[in-house]
Structure 1
């Protein structure tokens, strides 16, 4: 037989989680110096453009908790008892005044007892326990006090009992007493390990209507009961000593039967033994002047507060091994509504998708890191953005041409509109055969089957990208654009010009060659020094390793050289720049020119002294200078590289980028 329930997953037609946005944000944070683990957590905390994050959910949990504390205080039961007691005494006084047949001595004695009642409601109720009421209305009001206390005490442990037992008969009270006795016997057998499934089934068949949680086992029953009982204990500790003392005195008179309190005390002892980990000793301070609640309602409020505290911990994700699957969606839906649970479920799906997408992996040290696949995806996104800036038009289509009509690279790719490369006939036919194996009635050849052969330019280049990693780059906000530029160029060469050799060189106080993964994960360095001399030494070594390739030297810097490498291997630093530092940098730049390098300087910042120095260096080697904004650095570097490959000596300006791409059809629209 089929069973159905309400769908709780949000909009069933909603699109899947957007990994692209998440990966872009994570990649940018990693380049800014975050670890991939922290970058992922930060994105989940912020959320996406159309996705609430953990911070928003945590804020709503805190607001809900604050609202509960401000709206409720725990004097509700005492206030209700006090009102009923005043009603009983007032009705009795009226009856005494009206009853002309009453003995004057009896009347005086009764009035004296009413006049001398203690101020404490608990003491007054105890004092009137044996009072023989002459007024029917007064007697009914006083009996309501005992009935209220009994229902409140039961409502602490059994949700809804207060309303269910309103106007209860003696038979109803006897049924409750029997249920408590049977419950305690079941829990005691369970503690000894002597209970059976049949014992639980028999108990639920007889008393299940008292348990709206509908537990499916003794363990679930204990969980539900222990949470409310612990909340009841916390509620008592949240009251003033005077309130607590009065309620304890009044509780002894509940239903007019001490047996009820004995069974409840026995129940608390059993639950504490079975669930010692519950918070049995805590307390919560409620706001003053709020809406009064009774014992049962107060227990419910405290249970809500306990749920909210647990949700706050789960959403904070600050404990070891935290993951979003820890968030209790049922509690979140109860406290904040179904929409909040849907938001949290989407974040859970996003976290799982990020970890299963192959974009993040754990290294031997247990730390998350970006995989090569993620680096390629991030590089492609950056390269696409660079192409749009270079073409000068938004929304253009990437035709993914690997080169003009040059040498075949041996690779192929699916055909796209505008491709001019020759078809790869074997791959195209094989695709058609494979497709028709699953669809025999389909056409023999479809446009989706077509693959074209990739080609590469015949000219090879040895490219040295020297990027300044001194403290000023990080201080002035150029750290992330520098990394993005390196990744975009690395992606372009790795995917379109695989015959070219790229060397990434970072230079601060000293220089070093880096893999792209090392450069993108590089933390900001605060040591002073711009060692262009050492960077040029490494660049020239790279050029000499590739004697048949066209050398392309790209230098990104925001400062004059202030350090150089001495013959001993030590680093010399001086500011203002020492003449020897300038001379050594110029010498290595001349060496690069003799090797045939086409040089482009990318000057960042508006320092006039730097501008004069860079201009003179570029004139010396017949190179070019560009002064892009940080956001345009990637387009400037990539454009210069592409221009150098065509033998143009570097791009002359932004206008040439669109011309180059238009003529090559690289990202033409």
Structure 2
């Protein structure tokens, strides 16, 4: 038999993995869209806040806060003049040891040497340069001065090549000679690359020979150049951050150290090549360090290089430049600065942005990000769930008219047959009832057989069971038969659904935004549209928005709709459009729902232009109430949902209720959806 081994799938994404769940992210993003935010800005806000719910990933703001805290911590680590301070201390120690050796000697040579030491310049670099040829009388002073030069060599090389201080520990001449060979080979490789002659094999041979000197293990020349250039630029910023006097001293000491080591020319060539290849690294920009502890040149350079990386990372995470995308954030920089968990958070944010487009919730049109119809349906379903979660439990079912006639749609339920019913017979339920009853009758017959006989009048319509067996109506034995009784019959329940013509009139005026009711109105619109199209597909719903003019709105348009910064609440025009919708469905039950926060202040003139007047003119009120009367004659009950308690608005809606017989509600914005949806359901149930 063939044997198989199974393991993890490594050839790309798991093909059997369930689709990435973006619904919670879309809902959170949808809340911002309904408040008037553009989809692109809503997505950016979501990525800044992080992913909600069980996914629980940190957003860009949290990562940015960590980066800034890390920068503050690095700045507080210490001072940049630590190497200079160490060199000064060693220099003073060496001079003091030499003076102690010369003091007991009464010779003229001792006095001349003392005079030479007294004439040393205050500049540390010049003093070190002058003493480089001095013949020390004190062995301790000579050893201290050698420590000073070794310190400079190690720190300068460690500032350029991270980890070089450890490689040079012990003052091994062979190690220094190997450093010279490495720098010469590196410069030759950079020159070959500038001429277009470099190959990966060249780099591999270089790393095979000198790879132990580069602890970050670069994979190619570009990675090596990037690492070296970052440190070189950090060293340049270190010098720029010192005072002019300190800068001159430290630069002189570095130059002297490289000359003593025979590396000055190679170091200069390397510095020029790195600056030419990476001029974007902010060479010469000062950086403030606020700590008290002195830092060596290598440690200070490492801190400044990390600060530069954090500054770039901070800019990328802030995403506040034109065309910013999450792909701009360097994942390796995030790993170095914040660790693996931050990389996972960043990957989740990148994936949510890609998945929203891949799964068809977002699309780009002419460079702008837009919600798709699929996303709008999802937002409507979410809005409807929120509305229903607020509704108290009421009667079961949303069917609006049960009828005794056979014509209609099956509800999936059944009931006992009643005289005159013409619905289809529910055969399964009927036979099941007969079987249960026959079994019970059989058990009763067994009990009766064991009991003494009882005289009773004969009834030719009844057939007594004999033992546990069932019998037919004619009395013949039928072990597997079923005897039906009138009480066993059940019929399938049907209903005749009456269609409703639903008009939702939504105020789009700027006052809705000022009162904070704009998002609630949009969410209510999507919830009602989802309810009607999902549970009552036979209904015809039309959403009409009105400000200075009225217009029919598509749900996709409603989700991303912005308010109208115009004057006018033209309910007159909205009712005219609603009336045409009702007239197109004469056999449907008319339902008109109006959401507004102000009385009518505009009407449509005969020439089709809108006329605004505040306080409302009598002509506006007369024309609007005329449309209300037309609605009344159509049999449409108009229900108003007031989002403000303005005196004129209250007076107007009370007049509408008096003329039309509709109802008036004054809900809080948070409960608007609950009021509108429940009123729609109530009206449909009330029309049975």
Superposition TM-score tier, normalisation by shorter sequence: 0.7 to 0.9
Show the 5 A alignment for 1:124-139.
124-139=127-142
Aligned to 2:386: 385
Pairwise CA RMSD: 2.9
Residues 372 and 146 of structure 1: CA distance in aligned 2, closer, same or farther (over 3 Å): same
CA separation in 2, counterparts of 1:152 and 1:47?
43
Q: Please report how far the alpha carbon of residue 340 of structure 1 lies from its aligned counterpart in structure 2 after TM superposition.
A: 2.3
Aligned to 1:627: 666
Show the 5 A alignment for 1:530-609.
530-609=569-648
Aligned to 2:265: 262
CA separation in 1, counterparts of 2:251 and 2:517?
69
CA separation in 2, counterparts of 1:331 and 1:66?
17
8 Å contact 2:400–2:684 — kept in the other structure? no
CA separation in 2, counterparts of 1:580 and 1:35?
38
Q: Deviations over 1:376-430 (max 9, x none)?
A: 111111111111212259xx9xx99787878878999xxxxxxxxx99x9xxxxx
Residues 357 and 401 of structure 1: CA distance in aligned 2, closer, same or farther (over 3 Å): farther
CA separation in 1, counterparts of 2:408 and 2:300?
78
Residues 637 and 190 of structure 1: CA distance in aligned 2, closer, same or farther (over 3 Å): same
Aligned to 2:287: 285
Q: Please report how far the alpha carbon of residue 318 of structure 1 lies from its aligned counterpart in structure 2 after TM superposition.
A: 3.1
CA separation in 2, counterparts of 1:218 and 1:71?
32
Q: Are positions 1:163 and 2:192 aligned together?
A: no
8 Å contact 2:153–2:261 — kept in the other structure? no
8 Å contact 1:408–1:454 — kept in the other structure? no
8 Å contact 2:529–2:555 — kept in the other structure? yes
8 Å contact 2:546–2:574 — kept in the other structure? yes
Q: Please report how far the alpha carbon of residue 79 of structure 1 lies from its aligned counterpart in structure 2 after TM superposition.
A: 0.6
State the structure with more CA Rg. Answer: 2
Residue number among 69, 75, 80 corresponding to 1:69 in the alignment: 75
Q: Deviations over 1:15-57 (max 9, x none)?
A: 9976233211211211111111111111111124433211121
Residues 619 and 401 of structure 1: CA distance in aligned 2, closer, same or farther (over 3 Å): closer
Residue number among 338, 345, 348 corresponding to 1:346 in the alignment: 348
Aligned to 1:492: 531
Q: Please report how far the alpha carbon of residue 546 of structure 1 lies from its aligned counterpart in structure 2 after TM superposition.
A: 0.9
Residues 307 and 588 of structure 1: CA distance in aligned 2, closer, same or farther (over 3 Å): same
Q: Please report how far the alpha carbon of residue 255 of structure 1 lies from its aligned counterpart in structure 2 after TM superposition.
A: 6.1
Residue number among 159, 168, 182 corresponding to 1:179 in the alignment: 182
Q: Please report how far the alpha carbon of residue 648 of structure 1 lies from its aligned counterpart in structure 2 after TM superposition.
A: 4.9
CA separation in 2, counterparts of 1:42 and 1:171?
58
Residues 403 and 71 of structure 1: CA distance in aligned 2, closer, same or farther (over 3 Å): farther
> Secondary structure in 2 aligned to 1:464?
strand
Q: Deviations over 1:574-612 (max 9, x none)?
A: 111111111111110000111111221111222233223
> Secondary structure in 1 aligned to 2:595?
strand
Aligned to 2:439: none
Q: Please report how far the alpha carbon of residue 457 of structure 1 lies from its aligned counterpart in structure 2 after TM superposition.
A: 5.5
Q: Are positions 1:151 and 2:157 aligned together?
A: no
Q: Please report how far the alpha carbon of residue 62 of structure 1 lies from its aligned counterpart in structure 2 after TM superposition.
A: 2.0
Residue number among 80, 91, 107 corresponding to 2:110 in the alignment: 107
CA separation in 2, counterparts of 1:266 and 1:172?
21
Residue number among 272, 294, 305 corresponding to 1:303 in the alignment: 305
8 Å contact 1:234–1:302 — kept in the other structure? yes
CA separation in 1, counterparts of 2:586 and 2:108?
128
Q: Deviations over 1:617-663 (max 9, x none)?
A: 112111111111111111111111112222359xxxxxxxxxxxxxx
Residue number among 206, 212, 218 corresponding to 2:221 in the alignment: 218
8 Å contact 1:226–1:278 — kept in the other structure? no
Aligned to 1:659: none
TM-score normalised by the chain length of structure 2: 0.80
Aligned to 1:85: 91
Residues 409 and 225 of structure 1: CA distance in aligned 2, closer, same or farther (over 3 Å): farther
Aligned to 2:373: 372
Q: Deviations over 1:260-284 (max 9, x none)?
A: 11110011123334x1443263412
Which ranges in structure 2 are unaligned for 5 or more consecutive residues?
Answer: 1-17, 413-424, 429-491
8 Å contact 2:162–2:298 — kept in the other structure? yes
Aligned to 2:509: 470
Q: Please report how far the alpha carbon of residue 455 of structure 1 lies from its aligned counterpart in structure 2 after TM superposition.
A: 9.1
CA separation in 2, counterparts of 1:311 and 1:196?
31
Q: Deviations over 1:320-348 (max 9, x none)?
A: 44322332222112212333223222222
Q: Deviations over 1:181-223 (max 9, x none)?
A: 1211222122222233333222212111111121222232222
Q: Please report how far the alpha carbon of residue 534 of structure 1 lies from its aligned counterpart in structure 2 after TM superposition.
A: 1.0
CA separation in 1, counterparts of 2:258 and 2:270?
18
Residues 581 and 211 of structure 1: CA distance in aligned 2, closer, same or farther (over 3 Å): same
CA separation in 2, counterparts of 1:191 and 1:22?
48
CA separation in 2, counterparts of 1:532 and 1:117?
95
CA separation in 1, counterparts of 2:327 and 2:398?
44
Aligned to 2:485: none
CA separation in 2, counterparts of 1:402 and 1:267?
83
Aligned to 2:435: none
Larger deviation: 74-83 or 88-97? 88-97
CA separation in 1, counterparts of 2:664 and 2:508?
19
CA separation in 2, counterparts of 1:637 and 1:470?
19
Which ranges in structure 1 are unaligned for 5 or more consecutive residues?
Answer: 1-14, 413-421, 426-452, 650-669
Residue number among 178, 200, 203 corresponding to 1:200 in the alignment: 203
8 Å contact 2:80–2:289 — kept in the other structure? no
8 Å contact 2:48–2:60 — kept in the other structure? yes
Q: Please report how far the alpha carbon of residue 58 of structure 1 lies from its aligned counterpart in structure 2 after TM superposition.
A: 1.3
Residue number among 327, 334, 337 corresponding to 2:336 in the alignment: 334
> Secondary structure in 2 aligned to 1:513?
strand
Q: Please report how far the alpha carbon of residue 460 of structure 1 lies from its aligned counterpart in structure 2 after TM superposition.
A: 0.4
Q: Would you say how many aligned residue pairs link Structure 1 and Structure 2?
A: 590
Q: Are positions 1:96 and 2:95 aligned together?
A: no
Residues 311 and 401 of structure 1: CA distance in aligned 2, closer, same or farther (over 3 Å): farther
CA separation in 2, counterparts of 1:599 and 1:161?
84
Residues 280 and 310 of structure 1: CA distance in aligned 2, closer, same or farther (over 3 Å): closer
8 Å contact 1:146–1:256 — kept in the other structure? no
Larger deviation: 476-485 or 601-610? 601-610
Residues 554 and 591 of structure 1: CA distance in aligned 2, closer, same or farther (over 3 Å): same
